[in-house]
């Protein structure tokens, strides 16, 4: 079988989240773990690795930030259009192994996308996990993703949303300031807790530092990493973090697996 050939998939829904972010739903039926990703391509523009922001075997949702050639082109998709996908790839969050724990989900910006897959999974398997806390950070109130879902999450979980800045002074129910400040203020211990992280590197580093100060161990934190990738199967080597391949051994790593690797 030729592993480099993508399969066509139909766009069944297009939802704009913010001025530079949108969610597409594809009719791809695939079994996957929360935190895994697919390679999405638009022929002529190229391929981009995008994490799966849903948990269903009937469709996949992809939340996409318009930041490069492929994602800018994907933003012009309409219902009924075709894209090409490969995957699912990588290792996701080990949900089954973590049954019975409290789960703390910390996401920044479009890093919330793979975590939405986790939240959907928890929703479907609620009894397997105890308390669920969400810390979600965005740049401004206009950048907040998954507004519709947030309303539901607020009912079911302990949700903290913060925005870095509030230039238009429109913020009533969110905290203004970095997500790290909010985390620092929250009274947390590491008893039967695991932390799922995804976001910009600078946020991840700071969050880890705070959690360590609160007594969390490296093996309680799971980080989803972003890297440049092309093949998705461990052949092209762009995504290497030292000897680890983000596409095969990750993108989700338990932090003690990669905690020594700073400059990769």
In whole angstroms, the minimum distance from the beta carbon of 70 to another protein comes to: 8
Q: Which one among 27, 156, 256, 264 touches another protein, defined by CB under 8 A?
A: 264
Q: Name every residue whose Cβ is closer than 8 Å to that of residue 91 and which is 6 or more positions away in sequence.
A: 33, 35, 36, 248, 249, 250, 251, 252
Per CB under 8 A, 78 contacts another protein: no
Per CB under 8 A, 82 contacts another protein: yes
By CB atoms closer than 10 A (0-12, 13-18, 19+), residue 175 is middle
Per CB under 8 A, 5 contacts another protein: yes
Q: Which one among 79, 126, 185, 201 touches another protein, defined by CB under 8 A?
A: 201
Q: Which one among 6, 94, 123, 177 touches another protein, defined by CB under 8 A?
A: 6
Stretch 175-194: interaction string toward another protein, x if CB under 8 A: --------------------
Per CB under 8 A, 68 contacts another protein: yes
Q: Which one among 2, 124, 127, 213 touches another protein, defined by CB under 8 A?
A: 2
CB 69 within 8 A of CB 127: no
Extended strands (E) in the chain: 7-18, 21-26, 37-42, 46-51, 60-65, 82-89, 102-108, 132-138, 158-163, 175-176, 193-198, 221-224, 240-241, 244-245, 252-254
- Which of these segments, 96-104, 119-127, 131-139, 231-239, binds another protein (CB under 8 A)? 231-239
Site for another protein in 83-122 (CB under 8 A): 84
Token pair 């990669």 is at which residue?
258
Cα distance between residue 152 and residue 156, in whole Å: 7
CB 27 within 8 A of CB 72: no
Q: Which one among 13, 57, 67, 205 touches another protein, defined by CB under 8 A?
A: 67
Q: Nearer to another protein by C-beta: 90 or 122? A: 90
Round to the nearest angstrom and report the end-to-end CA distance of the chain: 32
CB 176 within 8 A of CB 166: yes
Query: CA-based angle 40:227:59, to the nearest 5?
Result: 30
Q: Which one among 139, 190, 240, 257 touches another protein, defined by CB under 8 A?
A: 240
Q: Which one among 129, 227, 257, 259 touches another protein, defined by CB under 8 A?
A: 227
Q: Nearer to another protein by C-beta: 125 or 237? A: 237
Q: Nearer to another protein by C-beta: 129 or 230? A: 230
- What residues line the site for another protein (CB under 8 A)? 1-6, 8, 41, 43-48, 67-71, 82, 84, 201, 226-228, 230-231, 233-238, 240, 242-243, 263-264
């Amino acid at each position: 079988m030729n592993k480099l050939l993508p399969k066509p998939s139909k766009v069944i829904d297009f939802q704009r989240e913010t001025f530079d972010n949108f969610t597409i739903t594809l009719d791809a039926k695939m079994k996957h773990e929360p935190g895994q990703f697919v390679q999405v391509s638009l022929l002529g523009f190229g391929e981009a690795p995008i994490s799966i922001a849903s948990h269903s075997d009937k469709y996949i949702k992809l939340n996409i930030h318009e930041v490069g050639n492929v994602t800018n082109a994907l933003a012009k998709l309409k219902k009924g259009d075709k894209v090409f996908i490969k995957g699912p790839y990588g290792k996701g969050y080990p949900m089954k192994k973590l049954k019975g724990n409290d789960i703390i989900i910390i996401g920044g910006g479009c890093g919330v996308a793979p975590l939405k897959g986790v939240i959907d999974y928890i929703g479907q398997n609620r009894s397997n996990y105890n308390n669920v806390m969400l810390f979600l950070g965005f740049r401004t109130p206009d950048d907040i993703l998954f507004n519709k879902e947030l309303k539901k999450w607020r009912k079911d979980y302990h949700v903290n949303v913060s925005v870095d800045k509030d230039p238009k002074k429109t913020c009533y129910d969110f905290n203004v300031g970095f997500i790290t400040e909010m985390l620092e203020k929250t009274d947390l211990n590491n008893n039967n807790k695991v932390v799922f992280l995804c976001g910009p590197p600078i946020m991840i580093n700071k969050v880890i530092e705070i959690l360590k100060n609160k007594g969390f161990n490296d093996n309680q934190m799971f980080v989803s990493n972003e890297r440049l990738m092309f093949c998705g199967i461990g052949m092209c080597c762009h995504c290497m973090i030292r000897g680890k391949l983000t596409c095969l051994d990750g993108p989700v790593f338990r932090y003690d697996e990669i905690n020594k690797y700073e400059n990769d």
